[in-house]
Amino acid sequence: MLENTKTTKEKQYVGNGVQSGDYYVNMSLKYDQLKPHVYEYKGVKYVRITLGKNMETNEWGKTHSVWINDYQPDNNDQENPKKTSAVSAGDGLPF
């Protein structure tokens, strides 16, 4: 499993979910835990999260977890991007 090495602290779990069929995961997120991570970009509010599959189904039958995506690119990533950013792709989002 790939681990993001540029996160600032331990994962902040904000919810979990259950796989529903082959293609969907039904999620429940804790609103009060999301509020501190809301940011605004061009007048629209966002929260960056990451969804991951649990190694095992937990005691409540949950198969996936959600945590705050706190990725912060270093200066080299900003100066020498390795792939096309979403902004240049035309959707206007900063991620």
Residue 93 lies in a domain: no
pTM above 0.95, yes or no: no
pLDDT by residue (tens digit) across 51-65? 999 999 999 999 999
Residue 45 lies in a domain: yes
Number of structural domains in the chain: 1
Up-side HSE of residue 7: CA atoms within 13 Å toward CB? 15
Range of the domain at 41: 1-73
Its sign, for the CA torsion 50, 71, 73, 95, is: positive
pLDDT band, residue 72 (cuts 50/70/90)? confident
Q: Are residues 14 and 29 in contact, defined by beta-carbon separation less than 8 angstroms?
A: yes
Indicate left, alpha or beta for 61 from its phi (over 0: left) and psi (-120 to 50: alpha).
left
pLDDT by residue (tens digit) across 13-26? 999 999 998 889 99
